[in-house]
């Protein structure tokens, strides 16, 4: 079932809830909760549209003014403060929220490994919490309740010299060594099934993404990488996996990296170029450092080899980037709405160049600084058998 979307001009009880959440966050004027209390008449007006866009920008989401599943989740996350509720690990329904994020940051600052600081109460966060509880002499049940809140309030940060999760990511890359053989990379062709994504100039995003993924998969496999796709050629009436399911696939495979493949579109035909996205939330000071580095390497390799305009790499909190336990990057390769970009994407030879650029970026991520290669210089024959 497709989740409902709410946007400018809509009205009703759901809009009243949206207005109340935004007002509670200070993004609508004081007293808006009262004006929104008439559920049937609450309107998604221009003030709400502006507030939603501001909230999305703050939270690293797509800024479109539409309240869909991800923005709903982010609105819910934002209203929780540490101490508002008891936190615990529930595999079938992972708790998420700003309170979880604060807990992770507190534990990390005290030297306990929560994994990625993402505001999701997963198994690693529970392990870190139990270890903290054992260290301070309270019941080590992995549940963050009143006794744990008090213990956290008494203690201050002890870890200095860098963000612990970033240091662990860098150390994991160093330990894994420069060889690609044996590494696991998940390729995520965007959309699929009845969801075709963007479609212009005779090209369909879902088909392009799958073709690119297949080309990259073949080249990675030739280097000894175990490469997997999050989807195949789904039938027209089959549902494509959502971002959470794609992240679950990558997590279950124990992947070292994930690359999500998309192409963009824009009302203006002048929009052009390639951009990459990695997990990060600027306001909360959380990011995947290796994801950021990998995104930068992808950006440089693709810009140099394809001559697409370099639109930079950017932090986002999209579900796929947030829920993967490994560094993950989303690639937006050109604009189907731009005739020149579309013409390039239509050429199999161009897609081969893109595939080689991705493989080169994967290799460079694992090379120590003294062995790194100049951008655009690595070729597949150099890597086969490496």
What pLDDT sits at residue 174? 86
Homologous superfamily of 98-160 in CATH? Answer: PGBD-like superfamily/PGBD (1.10.101.10)
Q: What is the mean pLDDT of residues 109-116?
A: 89
What pLDDT sits at residue 154? 87
Q: What is the mean pLDDT of residues 107-126?
A: 92
Residue corresponding to tokens 């297949």: 214
User: How many beta carbons lie within 10 A of that of residue 286, not counting itself?
Assistant: 24
Average pLDDT, the chain: 91
For the stretch 164-178, pLDDT in tens is 777 778 888 888 899
Confidence of residue 161 (pLDDT cuts 50, 70, 90): very low
Q: Which residues pair with 185 in a beta bridge?
A: 227, 257
Taking 70 as the threshold, does the pLDDT of residue 366 lie above it? Answer: yes
**Residues 6 or more apart in contact with residue 114 via CB below 8 angstroms:** 103, 104, 107, 108, 124, 125, 128, 165
Burial of 184 (0-12, 13-18, 19+ CB in 10 A): middle
What pLDDT sits at residue 282? 79
Confidence of residue 36 (pLDDT cuts 50, 70, 90): very low
Domain ranges for the chain? 13-78, 98-160, 175-383
What pLDDT sits at residue 9? 93
**Residues 6 or more apart in contact with residue 334 via CB below 8 angstroms:** 263, 264, 272, 273, 274, 308, 341, 342, 344, 345
Taking 80 as the threshold, does the pLDDT of residue 78 lie above it? Answer: yes
What pLDDT sits at residue 171? 83
Homologous superfamily of 175-383 in CATH? Answer: Zn-dependent exopeptidases (3.40.630.40)
Q: What is the mean pLDDT of residues 50-78?
A: 94
CATH for 13-78 (1.10.287, 1.10.260, 1.10.101, 3.30.1490): 1.10.101
What pLDDT sits at residue 163? 65
Q: What are phi and psi of 122, to 5 degrees?
A: -100, -170
Taking 80 as the threshold, does the pLDDT of residue 30 lie above it? Answer: no
Q: What is the mean pLDDT of residues 21-42?
A: 72
- CATH topology match: 13-78 vs 175-383: no
| Residue 49 host element (H or E) | helix 46-58
- For a pLDDT cut of 90, what percent of the chain falls above it? 78
Taking 90 as the threshold, does the pLDDT of residue 138 lie above it? Answer: yes
CA pair distance 78, 74, nearest whole angstrom: 6
Taking 60 as the threshold, does the pLDDT of residue 386 lie above it? Answer: no
What pLDDT sits at residue 32? 56
What pLDDT sits at residue 383? 87
Taking 80 as the threshold, does the pLDDT of residue 157 lie above it? Answer: no
Q: What is the mean pLDDT of residues 127-149?
A: 96
> What six digits make up the tokens of 294?
């990998």
Taking 50 as the threshold, does the pLDDT of residue 34 lie above it? Answer: no
For the stretch 276-327, pLDDT in tens is 999 998 777 788 999 999 999 999 999 999 989 999 999 999 999 999 999 9
What pLDDT sits at residue 44? 95
Which one-letter DSSP state was computed for residue 120?
B
**Residues 6 or more apart in contact with residue 139 via CB below 8 angstroms:** 133, 147
Q: What is the mean pLDDT of residues 2-10?
A: 86
| CA separation, residue 111 to residues 163, 231, 288 (Å) | 10, 38, 18
Q: Which residues pair with 368 in a beta bridge?
A: none
> What six digits make up the tokens of 328?
């993950």
| Entry pTM | 0.86
What pLDDT sits at residue 149? 94
For the stretch 243-274, pLDDT in tens is 999 999 999 999 999 999 999 999 999 999 99
What pLDDT sits at residue 162? 52
What pLDDT sits at residue 385? 57
């Amino acid at each position: 079932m497709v989740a409902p979307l709410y946007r400018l001009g809509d009205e009703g009880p759901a809009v009243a809830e949206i207005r109340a959440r935004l007002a509670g966050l200070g993004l609508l004027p004081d007293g808006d909760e009262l004006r929104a209390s008439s559920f049937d008449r609450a309107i998604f007006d221009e003030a709400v549209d502006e507030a939603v866009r501001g909230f999305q920008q703050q939270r690293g989401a797509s800024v479109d003014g539409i309240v869909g599943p991800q923005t709903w989740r982010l609105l819910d996350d934002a209203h929780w403060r540490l101490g508002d509720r008891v936190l615990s690990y529930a595999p079938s329904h992972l708790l998420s929220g700003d309170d979880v994020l604060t807990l992770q940051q507190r534990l990390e600052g005290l030297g306990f490994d929560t994994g990625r600081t993402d505001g999701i109460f997963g198994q690693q966060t529970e392990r870190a919490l139990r270890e903290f509880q054992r260290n301070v002499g309270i019941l080590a049940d992995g549940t963050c309740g009143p006794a744990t809140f008090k213990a956290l309030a008494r203690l201050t940060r002890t870890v200095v010299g860098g963000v612990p999760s970033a240091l662990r990511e860098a150390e994991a890359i160093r330990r894994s060594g420069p060889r690609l053989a044996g590494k696991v990379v998940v390729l995520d062709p965007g959309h699929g099934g009845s969801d075709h994504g963007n479609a212009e100039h005779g090209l369909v995003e879902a088909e392009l993404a799958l073709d690119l993924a297949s080309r990259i998969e073949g080249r990675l496999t030739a280097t000894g990488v175990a490469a997997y796709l999050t989807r195949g050629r789904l039938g027209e009436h089959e549902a494509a996996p959502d971002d959470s399911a794609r992240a679950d696939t990558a997590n279950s495979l124990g992947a070292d990296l994930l690359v999500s493949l998309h192409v963009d579109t824009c009302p203006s035909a002048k929009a052009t170029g390639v951009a990459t996205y990695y997990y990060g939330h600027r306001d909360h000071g959380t990011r995947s450092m290796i994801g950021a580095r990998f995104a930068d390497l992808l950006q440089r390799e693709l810009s140099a080899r394809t001559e697409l305009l370099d639109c930079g790499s950017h932090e986002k909190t999209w579900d796929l980037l947030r829920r993967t336990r490994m560094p993950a990057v989303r690639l937006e390769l050109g604009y189907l709405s731009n005739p020149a970009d579309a013409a390039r994407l239509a050429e199999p030879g161009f897609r081969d160049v893109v595939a080689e650029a991705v493989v080169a970026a994967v290799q460079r991520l694992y090379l120590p600084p003294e062995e790194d290669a100049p951008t655009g210089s690595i070729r597949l024959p150099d890597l086969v058998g490496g």
